[in-house]
């Protein structure tokens, strides 16, 4: 068996502005195949903007987004839509991200095939992802309000997984949750890392969690990547002043050992 080592995601010279404000500047990011990469930086540094630009929620002023080696802006609409499915973005807020009027089964079926959004047509795939995120099969018939924040985040993960993406972008997906629930979700992500083919871009301001979950880390400051490398190397011997300050400001990393 040959292993596909094409990076699921690369950005080249990405610039994003909102009005006159430049929010991302010359962002060159590579997420290697089968790898978890942490994206850290203080609030407002542009992490979410980067994730959202990659999945097409924002459009860059200039620059390229390559999904599995192919520039999403150089292909036709249909091809682009197919490529977009390969990269799934999981937002921070588990309360606004699920449609309140759809059962979980409908939401999952719709993710898989918007034109045939009947859960009965996708029973096997739905059962498989619910098992992957450790939710009961009865979840399918229920509505989002019947679940806790942590369970909703599992559902959001399932909705991403059902498309068998090459990359999942998890944007602060535990920051709205209680600490004990956070650990559960992180443990789940860790087990998924080991069992699925996808890479993970894990956006977080918690440096300890990034170290526990990721092999590489990318440090962003005011819309610029200031440093990247293996997590252990960067944390042990940060090269950039901003990374040093970020590491020095970590309160305590207790409670986040995932073992
Ligand atoms: N849709 C938007 N319109 C205008 N400004 C935005 C928008 N989204 C984010 N910003 C601004 O872009 C900057 C980066 O935000 P964001 O990407 O959310 O940072 P982070 O996720 O690192 O906290 C911030 O100054 C924010 O106010
Ligand atoms: Mg953000």
| Residues 121-139: tens digit of each pLDDT | 999 999 999 999 999 999 9
Which atom of ligand 1 lies closest to the CA of 49?
17
Mean pLDDT in the chain?
93
Q: Whose CA is nearest to atom 3 of ligand 1?
A: 18
pLDDT of residue 197: 86
| Residues 233-249: tens digit of each pLDDT | 999 999 999 999 999 98
Confidence grade of residue 33 (pLDDT, cut at 50, 70, 90): very high
Q: Whose CA is nearest to atom 4 of ligand 1?
A: 18
With H, G, I as helix, E, B as strand and everything else as coil, classify residue 225: strand
pLDDT of residue 3: 78
Cα separations in angstroms, 61 against 78, 102, 119, 222: 22, 36, 39, 17
Cα 148 → chain centroid: 20
Exposed e or buried b per residue across 206-232, where buried means at least 16 C-beta atoms within 10 angstroms of its C-beta: bbbbbbbbbbbbbbbbebbbbbbbebe
Mean pLDDT of 203-222: 95
Angle (nearest 5°) at CA 197 between 192 and 201: 70
Centre of ligand 1 to C-alpha 165, Å, is: 26
What's the pTM value of the predicted model, to 2 decimals?
Answer: 0.94
Indicate if the pLDDT at residue 255 is higher than 50. Answer: no
Does the beta carbon of 47 sit less than 6 angstroms from any atom of ligand 1?
Answer: yes
Does the beta carbon of 48 sit less than 6 angstroms from any atom of ligand 1?
Answer: yes
Q: Which of 16, 18, 60 to mutate to test the pocket of ligand 1 (most atoms within 8 A of CB)?
A: 18
Mean pLDDT of 193-211: 92
pLDDT of residue 157: 97
Cα 109 → chain centroid: 20
Does the beta carbon of 49 sit less than 6 angstroms from any atom of ligand 1?
Answer: yes
Q: Whose CA is nearest to atom 26 of ligand 1?
A: 44
Q: Out of 115-124, 212-221, 245-254, give the one with best mean pLDDT.
A: 212-221
């Amino acid at each position: 068996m040959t292993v596909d080592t094409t990076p699921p995601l690369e950005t080249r010279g990405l610039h994003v502005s909102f009005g006159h404000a430049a929010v991302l500047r010359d962002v060159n990011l590579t997420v290697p195949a089968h790898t978890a990469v942490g994206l850290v930086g203080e609030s407002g540094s542009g992490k979410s903007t980067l994730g959202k630009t990659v999945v097409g929620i924002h459009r860059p002023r200039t620059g390229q987004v390559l999904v599995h080696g192919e520039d999403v802006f150089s292909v036709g609409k249909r091809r682009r839509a197919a490529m977009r499915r390969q990269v799934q973005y999981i937002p921070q807020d588990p309360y606004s991200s699920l449609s309140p009027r759809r059962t979980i089964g409908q939401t999952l079926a719709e993710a898989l095939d918007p034109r045939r959004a009947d859960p009965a047509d996708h029973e096997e795939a739905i059962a498989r992802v619910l098992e992957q995120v450790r939710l009961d099969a009865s979840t399918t018939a229920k509505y989002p309000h019947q679940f806790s924040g942590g369970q909703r985040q599992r559902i959001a993960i399932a909705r991403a997984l059902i498309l068998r993406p090459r990359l999942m972008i998890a944007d602060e997906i535990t920051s709205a949750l209680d600490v004990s629930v956070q650990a559960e979700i992180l443990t789940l992500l860790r087990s998924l890392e080991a069992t699925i083919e996808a890479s993970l871009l894990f956006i977080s301001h918690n440096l300890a969690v990034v170290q526990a979950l990721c092999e590489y880390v990318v440090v962003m400051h005011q819309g610029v990547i200031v440093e990247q490398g293996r997590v252990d190397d960067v944390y042990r011997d940060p090269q950039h002043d901003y990374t040093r300050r970020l590491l020095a400001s970590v309160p305590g990393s207790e409670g986040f050992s995932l073992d």
